[in-house]
Chain A
Amino acid sequence: MSAPLLKIENVTKRFGGFTALDSVSVDIAPGERFGLIGPNGSGKTTLIHCISGALRPTAGGIVFEGRDVTGLPAHKRTRKGIARSFQIPRPFKTMTVRENLLVALDFASLDHGLSAAEQTSHVMSILERMGLATKVDAIASSLSQVELRKMELARAMAAKPKLLISDEAMAGLSSSEVDEVLDLLLKLSGDGITIIMIEHIMHAVMRFSSRVMCLDAGKIVAIGEPKAVMENKRVQEAYLGA
């Protein structure tokens, strides 16, 4: 196995007296499709926040491409290649879809040399892949839920990430929409982008992931082959509360 793209080393995050993450360590290899599961409040989103830089871990470190990024603000991590979507979509709501993507082009991919025409063609090529091309000039606040999810992924893609973190991108979608988003993620993975997917929709996790990790109460309960993790007793207990 090649050197890990992302190393999470003993990451602990406490909020006051509450320990949301308790020395979590895991390596993620380039090109991996990594599923992250766990019941509500198990620390999945906190872990994502620590990786993307929205939160600083109380202890432990994040190493990306061999460099320690623990102290870097989120925007610098994005520029290094860590992009994410949000559990509840967070569009730039007063902007059009095009402008939403241009923010990422301008600030994250640092392609300042691109002409307006090149920017447009780049934006359009991403939107076409996401099936959003017809909405390029729509104001973000007018998009439907599934369109918002796609736009968040498109915006993350415009940042030219090496690692894409998808935080429940399928929550609240109909089953055909879930398949649409899942296909998108698989396509991106096919392009060589490493993906961490947080999801509650189990069949999606099973179909997508090459490896699955289950968190409960801030600790790793199980990690490994999707099937083995699902059959793990402690995983089932964590989900069913038995």
Chain B
Amino acid sequence: MGKSNGLGFWIACAVFLGAMLALTLVMKNEYPFFAGYVILQFIVLATAWNILGGYAGYVNFGTSAFFGLGVYIAVMLFKAIGAPIVVQIAGAALVGAVLGFGVGLLTLRMQGIFFSIATIAVTIIIETCVTNWKFVGGAAGIQLQRPPVMAPFDSYVKMLFFVQAALVVIAVALARYVQGSWIGRGLQALRDDELAAECTGVPTLKLKLLACCLSGALMSAAGAPSAMYLQFANPDSAFNLNYSVSALAMALIGGTAHWIGPILGAILLGVTQQILTVTISSEVNVLILGLMLVLFVVGAPAGLIGLVGFPWKKRGGT
């Protein structure tokens, strides 16, 4: 993997972005973009989750903390200075990276399930702070008026759809880089055995902090356009535990060993969720999500990419 098909990867990215752009220009109906946005958002979240959860083995239940923080940084920047969407995303990514750094420091003292529980606590703390932050609407939430849409787009939702597609490319490219580089090998080593990694020269703390910052920045960036997408933000939905569970489930179902896993998982689950939401109800989503997660954990612990049997992951491993 990696170097030999590097050019292929970037061509695929360009084709993907081009196709998404073409869709927004050709298709009149807004609904597919409204639904597609959610799937793209989950690709970013699952990919970001996998950098820490999959490569480094630190299971983060705090995706919703990063996502919600991203939403509210965007809200704040928009309300305070009328920042354009790109600035909202950049600001959210920066703050997300800082929060990631903080969460990374937790790994000094906590591993396994204890780390996971701590990340839930982080979510609750940040949600509580935002709930009491009057400037961004507090518990009641805040209505937002979209600014005029920029050319060449004819609707704001289509523009956000394209923005989220660009975030997908950034997230996947970063994850792919991490996986193929010495960073990825170091993370895999510390996931397998942190003390042995440290004693083999791996700067485990530095790598964990890096993974946390990257993962956090991407998650918050994915959340930033959400405020404008819904034209509304409130703490309940921005910090919804569903984001944490979905990101984790999508990465696990797709497979955590390769960057393509979270993409596959997010598409599979995201599309299923969208179809179920339209045809049955949004509550059934959660049930299906849970069922699929259980099925995959039992039947295909290496996820979709394990089922397909990618050549570089041989049998016999755990």
Residues of A within 8 A of B (CB): 52-54, 73-75, 78-79, 83-84, 86, 90-95, 99, 102-104, 106-110, 112, 139, 141-142, 155-156, 159
Contacts and interface: CB of A to CB of B under 8 A. Distances in A.
Contacts of B192: 91-95
Contacts of B197: 92, 103
A172 B203 CA distance: 31
B185 A74 contact: no
A22 B185 CA distance: 39
Given A53-B199, A84-B199, 10 more contacts: A54-B198, A78-B200, A79-B201, A86-B196, A94-B188, A95-B192, A102-B185, A106-B186, A139-B314, A139-B316
A75 B317 contact: no
A53 B185 CA distance: 22
Contacts of B283: none
Contacts of A74: 195, 198-199
Contact of A107 (B191, B193, B202, B317): B202
- Indicate the member of A54, A103, A104, A159 with the most B CB atoms within 10 Å: A103
Given A106-B186, A108-B200, A108-B201, A94 B195 contact: no
B318 interface: yes
Interface string B164-194: 0000000000000000001001101101110
B204 interface: yes
Nearest to B198: A74
Given A90-B193, A92-B193, A94-B188, A75 B318 contact: no
A29 B201 CA distance: 23
B200 A107 contact: yes
Contact of A95 (B182, B189, B199): B189
Majority SS at the chain A contact face: mixed
Nearest to A99: B185
A91 B193 contact: yes
B199 A78 contact: yes
10 closest A-B pairs (Cβ-Cβ)?
A108-B201, A107-B201, A90-B196, A92-B192, A78-B201, A74-B198, A139-B317, A90-B193, A103-B189, A142-B316
A9 to B, nearest CB: 22
Nearest to A90: B196
- Indicate the member of A83, A86, A94, A142 with the most B CB atoms within 10 Å: A94
Interface residues of B, number: 23
A74 B194 CA distance: 11
24 contacts: A52-B199, A53-B198, A53-B199, A54-B198, A54-B199, A73-B205, A78-B198, A78-B199, A86-B195, A86-B199, A90-B193, A92-B189, A92-B197, A94-B188, A94-B317, A95-B188, A95-B192, A103-B201, A107-B189, A107-B200, A109-B201, A110-B201, A141-B316, A141-B317
Contacts of A102: 185
Contacts of B203: 73, 75, 107
Interface string B204-244: 11000000000000000000000000000000000000000
Contacts of B195: 54, 74, 86, 90
Interface string B147-170: 000000000000000000000000
Nearest to B191: A94
B318 A94 contact: yes
Contacts of B200: 75, 78, 83, 103-104, 107-108, 155-156, 159
Contacts of B318: 93-94, 141
A137 B201 CA distance: 22
Nearest to B195: A54
Nearest to B318: A141
Given A94-B188, A106-B185, A141-B316, A159 B198 contact: no
B131 to A, nearest CB: 40
Contacts of A95: 188-189, 192
Given A90-B193, A139-B317, A141-B316, A75 B198 contact: yes
Interface string B301-318: 000000000000010111
